[in-house]
């Protein structure tokens, strides 16, 4: 390793309950070879004592990151970089932060790994219509004589969104004999083709794919985008997967479609509100599978994000280009 001429001062600020998962001892030891690391704080503790940022050159964070507003930034005059072991930087960035033109790193690439793995598993199960056939067996107490399923042979899989996670799912699907379609207004045809994906409109995506998986960020233009009309276009036995944001689905218009189409299956790892209200039909509809953010990084998987931050920290203190810095004009497109 190149000898460091200067050891920057760093501070870790995030929620305490997930801190040891994201920054386990092995990751902290690596970080401490690169910087002088102060005692960690929570967002609440920092709000009580914003002067704790004085002299801090590198801010490390994760879930429960502080909002970098004018008050905190006023005490962070020496701040040179922010590294976040989480997917989105939207919750902590403000116009005042972007005006400082500081580099900010997101661990979205690391968080994308378990989400893409979960999605791939559900896509393959959906192509075999595992959930639907299992429901029918329980209801009829008999096995179907010759189940008719799409399977992973020349079937169509649709992706709504080709961001970090959607692109990784597309990459995984290249190992299977399926055709992958996608809808994403900010991705051009050449980029999609490089991922082995063909861009189509929403009507074709929902109308022709045996499985549609949602990976769009929650923006004003995507809120409620997946409505009952689109879901009603889905073919017999199709599966809808949502690991993105619950509000991307217009649940009030989708629920009646799911109620009237027992052949469809909805795998909802996210909902809106979250969790659903106690009287929500989502709890009782037999063709809805609810999971509580199981797709995202859990337990030991979270250390992958801390490892990414440690690697980026090494590049930063050695003056090397960062690989996971978020461009200001792209930050709003992250989930």
List residues with catalytic annotation: 245, 274, 293
Residue of 167, 10, 2, 166 lying closest to 82 (CA atoms):
10
Whole-number CA gyration radius for the chain: 22
Cβ(296)–Cβ(108) below 8 Å: no
CB neighbours of 148 closer than 8 A, spacing ≥ 6?
237
- DSSP strands (E only) in the chain: 9-13, 36-37, 58-61, 81-84, 104-106, 153-160, 177-183, 197-199, 211-214, 239-242, 265-268, 288-290
What distances in angstroms separate CA 123 from CA 120, 196, 296, one per listed residue?
5, 17, 16
Q: Are strands 197-199 and 211-214 parallel, antiparallel or unpaired?
A: unpaired
């Amino acid at each position: 390793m190149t000898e460091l001429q200067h050891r920057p001062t760093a501070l870790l600020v995030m929620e305490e309950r997930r801190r040891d998962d994201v920054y386990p001892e092995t990751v902290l030891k690596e970080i401490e070879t690169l910087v002088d690391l102060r005692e960690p704080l929570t967002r609440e503790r920092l709000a009580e004592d914003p002067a704790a940022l004085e002299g801090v050159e590198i801010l490390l964070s994760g879930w429960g990151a502080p909002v970098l507003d004018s008050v905190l930034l006023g005490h962070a005059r020496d701040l040179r970089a922010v590294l976040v072991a989480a997917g989105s930087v939207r919750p902590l960035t403000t116009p005042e932060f972007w005006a400082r033109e500081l580099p900010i790193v997101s661990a979205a690439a690391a968080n994308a790994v378990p989400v893409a793995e979960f999605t791939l598993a559900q896509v393959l199960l959906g192509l075999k219509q595992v959930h639907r056939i299992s429901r029918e067996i329980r209801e009829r107490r008999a096995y179907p004589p010759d189940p008719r399923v799409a399977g992973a042979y020349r079937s169509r899989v649709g992706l709504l969104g080709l961001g970090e996670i959607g692109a990784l799912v597309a990459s995984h699907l290249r190992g299977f004999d399926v055709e992958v379609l996608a809808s994403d207004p900010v991705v051009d045809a050449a980029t999609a083709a490089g991922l082995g994906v063909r861009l189509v409109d929403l009507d074709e995506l929902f109308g022709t794919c045996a499985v549609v998986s949602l990976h769009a960020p929650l923006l004003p233009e995507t809120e409620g985008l997946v409505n009952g009309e689109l879901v009603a276009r889905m073919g017999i036995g199709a599966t809808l997967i949502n690991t993105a944001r619950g509000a991307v689905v217009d649940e009030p218009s989708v629920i009646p479609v799911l109620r009237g189409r027992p052949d469809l299956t909805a795998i909802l790892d996210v909902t809106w509100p979250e969790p659903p209200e106690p009287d929500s039909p989502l709890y009782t509809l037999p063709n809805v599978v609810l999971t509580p953010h199981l797709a995202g990084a859990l337990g030991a998987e979270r250390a992958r994000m801390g490892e990414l931050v440690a690697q980026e920290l090494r590049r930063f203190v050695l003056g090397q280009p960062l690989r996971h810095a978020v461009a200001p004009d792209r930050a709003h497109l992250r989930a």
